Amino acid sequence: MKAVVRHRLFWPAVMLVVLLIGNTFYSPSFLKVTLRDGHFYGSLVDILRSATPLALVALGMTVVIATAGIDLSVGSVMAISGATACLWISELGDQNAVGGVLVAVALALLLSLVLGVWNGFLVAAIGIQPIIATLILMVAGRGIAQLITGGQIITVNSSPYKVIGAGYALAIPVSVIIVAVFVAVAAVLVRRSALGLLVESVGGNPTASRLAGIKSARYIWIAYVFAGLCAGIAGLIFSSNVSSADGNNAGNLIELDAILAVVIGGTALTGGRFSIAGSILGAVVIKTLDITIYTVGVPTSSTLLFKAIVVIALCLAQSPAFRAKFARRRSAAEATA
Amino acid sequence: MIDVGTPGTATAVARVPLSKKRPQKRHIPVLATAALFGLMYLVGVVSYPGFSDTQILLNIFIDNAFLLVVAVGMTFVILTGGIDLSVGAVVALTTMISAVLLRENWPAGAVLPLVLLVGTLLGLAMGCIIHFFEVPPFIATLAGMFLARGLCFVISDASIPITNSTWTGIADVRIWFGGFRITISVVIALVVLLIGAFVLAYTRFGRNVYALGGNQQSAMLMGLPVARTRVAVYTISGFCSALGGVLVSFYMSSGNSLHAQGMELDAIAAVVIGGTVLAGGSGYVFGTVLGVLVLGVIQTLITYADLNSWWTRIFIGALLFAFILLQRVVNRRT
């Protein structure tokens, strides 16, 4: 029992269960999943579907944070990726041509990789603090995304493109399948090879790992490229779901949700220890919270405040200094009692 | 101290010009900024008739007075090797609180100190979390940023106009001299600037700020008040953001949750372009002024060139990158 409570995923799982139970009180049919027209329907499916971009971004963010870094540019990369794909498709003679859509997707992903390489270059090769390095792309990236879309919202009408974000395969949303496969591959790569261990050692103590003969710069670089790719795919899912690209608002403030998901999942923001499953669970918790706020009827404007308080509380709970002070006070109270 | 006639003299002699050169190297980023500003201004004057009007230069100050105030606070924080990402959100929160309270017919004389106090307290709280709980500055201030923006949205997600006569009165005052005009905001910004420069250069607290940024371990071993200094710089930044917010509410005559979005980057960019080293310990408030002026000239040039507004973001990002690179190169050599 103690082992269960102590488990890293215990508290996020409890949060999720509490939220789900709370929702069933407000709408009894909340947990019902029905099969209609060969698709699964229901609030649970909606939560999973809407959580896919965030889960991907959080996955990339987890690896970056594990190297003791942070990537603030994920929202901008999402916007650029969606804008590139939509621009390419809108110029096609036949927007429904599968080949053309594939080229658009490949282009968008290639560009996200390049942006990830750029972030990695600034952090690993030049040695700029991650927060500043990615701040550059966060701001300039929004400009680039608007440059691509010409300041307009590009709308496309392409059924192959729409499959990515809004389609179904085997009654399950395609976006959920994409994310599940991607997460599974990443988890296997990280946990069944030395990659995860090396990333954790770089984040835990860069000097010690360098002295141990680990090429820190290489793993930091890989982390940012991976985060770029994740954000790129997330951008495609997001823009495909709405069949349009908005350079200004796509992925706006998603870096907050991603950081929140990572923290909820039990990854320390100071680097060194990470949990992919935790971050994915964190992303689902956040989306469930968003939907709960809709169902319960709390004004949506208070969402940001609530999330901020959760971030602050979790940061303090993670801080060793805070824990030490708290523990000392408690043991002192026990001694006097 | 050195026995004459040994090879030691040779090194001592060789070192003299080196140490004389050193301050110049430290000044390279500031000089580069000044040169860049001059060059861009020249480009403007040559390409566009009317650009040489002195009022254009004064307008840069009028349009960026709030950024100047925020950037002075940011300079303090970055000098200690920290960072404050909450400034834009605190600016927005200040405009929001001011607008709501003024709408409820609170006297302007009560609203002004109150909003300044709110910003200062937010800064103080973040400083305490950073120092006493050892939360990294960017995380603590990122959380502060979300908190302040969150509070804005709770107050209202619509724009609230400010119609209070004192407020609009101050905003409309124009100070004329010799055919040119500036606003009260510019005067406030210049006063903040002078105080900031004086505190950093001539007070014990200022020396502590530089010492803390130079090497925290040494500062602690020297018995300097590290805790007080660290908490104080975030408090100062909070105050400056709140004051910047008041100036924004003068400038925009409204409170809006979306005001000052991305201002944290503008402020950081101004400080970095102004030659303050991101790792802390070296930099000047007057460099920051040059940084703000460079950003202002970019905006003016882009308006004159009739380019789209997103080019501003791309240019600022590129400039920030160039100057960080320059810092790296200069620091590696010394």
The overall average pLDDT reported for chain A is: 81
Interface check for B133 against chain A (CB to CB < 8 A): the answer is yes
Q: What is the mean pLDDT of residues B201-229?
A: 88
For residue A147, list chain B residues with Cβ-Cβ distance below 8 A.
308, 310-311, 314
pLDDT for A247 beyond 80: no
B134, B135, B278: best to mutate for the A interface, most A CBs within 10 A: B135
Residue B121 domain-assigned (yes or no): yes
pLDDT value, residue B244: 94
For chain A, percent of residues with pLDDT exceeding 90: 12
Q: Nearest CB to B153: which of A142, A269, A305?
A: A305
Q: What is the mean pLDDT of residues B16-32?
A: 62
Any bridge partners for residue A70, and if so which? none
pLDDT value, residue B7: 41
pLDDT tens per residue across span B289-325: 999 998 888 888 888 887 777 788 888 888 888 888 8
pLDDT for A4 beyond 80: no
Cα–Cα distance measured from residue A323 to residue B198, given in angstroms and rounded to the nearest whole number:
40
Strands (E), A224-311: 244-246
- Coil, helix or strand for B279? coil
Residue B99 domain-assigned (yes or no): yes
For residue B316, list chain A residues with Cβ-Cβ distance below 8 A.
139-140
Compare B211 and A204 and report the one with higher pLDDT. B211
Q: For residue B27, give every residue at least 6 positions away whose Cβ sits within 8 Å of its Cβ, in sequence order, or none.
A: B275
Interface check for A324 against chain B (CB to CB < 8 A): the answer is no
Residue B108 domain-assigned (yes or no): yes
Cα–Cα distance measured from residue A279 to residue A61, given in angstroms and rounded to the nearest whole number:
9
Cα–Cα distance measured from residue B312 to residue B300, given in angstroms and rounded to the nearest whole number:
10
Q: Into how many domains does chain B fold? A: 1
pLDDT tens per residue across span A159-181: 777 777 777 777 778 888 888 88
pLDDT for B158 beyond 70: yes
Cα–Cα distance measured from residue A236 to residue A248, given in angstroms and rounded to the nearest whole number:
15
Q: What is the enclosing helix (H) or strand (E) of B160?
A: strand B160-161
- A286 in the Ramachandran plot: left (φ > 0), alpha (ψ -120 to 50) or beta? alpha
pLDDT value, residue B12: 42
pLDDT band at A231 (very low <50, low <70, confident <90, very high): very high
pLDDT value, residue B278: 80
Could you give the dihedral angle defined by the CA atoms of residues B89, B90, B91 and B92, in that order, rounded to the nearest 10 degrees? 50
Interface check for B160 against chain A (CB to CB < 8 A): the answer is no
A253, A301, A328: best to mutate for the B interface, most B CBs within 10 A: A301
Query: Are the CB atoms for A79 and A246 separated by under 8 Å?
Result: yes
pLDDT for A148 beyond 60: yes
Q: Which of A271-280, A294-303, B109-118 has the lowest mean pLDDT?
A: A294-303
pLDDT value, residue B22: 52
pLDDT value, residue B237: 95
Domain that holds residue B38: 26-333
Cα–Cα distance measured from residue B44 to residue B38, given in angstroms and rounded to the nearest whole number:
10
pLDDT band at A2 (very low <50, low <70, confident <90, very high): low
Q: What is the mean pLDDT of residues B30-58?
A: 84
For residue A106, give Cα distances in angstroms to A102, A111, A147, A169: 6, 9, 20, 21
Residue where the block lists tokens 């141990």: A212
B86, B87, B93, B133: best to mutate for the A interface, most A CBs within 10 A: B133
Cα–Cα distance measured from residue A258 to residue B146, given in angstroms and rounded to the nearest whole number:
13
pLDDT band at B19 (very low <50, low <70, confident <90, very high): very low
Residue B189 domain-assigned (yes or no): yes
pLDDT value, residue A112: 93
pLDDT tens per residue across span A82-120: 889 888 888 877 777 778 888 888 999 999 999 999 999
Could you give the dihedral angle defined by the CA atoms of residues B178, B180, B185 and B191, in that order, rounded to the nearest 10 degrees? -50
For residue A309, list chain B residues with Cβ-Cβ distance below 8 A.
147, 150
CATH code assigned to A2-19+40-329? 1.10.3470
The set of long-range contacts for B49-57, using a CB threshold of 8 Å and a minimum separation of 24, is: B51/B300, B51/B304, B54/B180, B55/B180, B55/B181, B56/B300
Cα–Cα distance measured from residue B191 to residue B199, given in angstroms and rounded to the nearest whole number:
12
pLDDT value, residue B8: 40
Q: Which of A264, A268, A314, A318 is nearest to A289 (CA)?
A: A264
pLDDT value, residue B334: 45
Q: Nearest CB to A143: which of B139, B153, B314?
A: B314
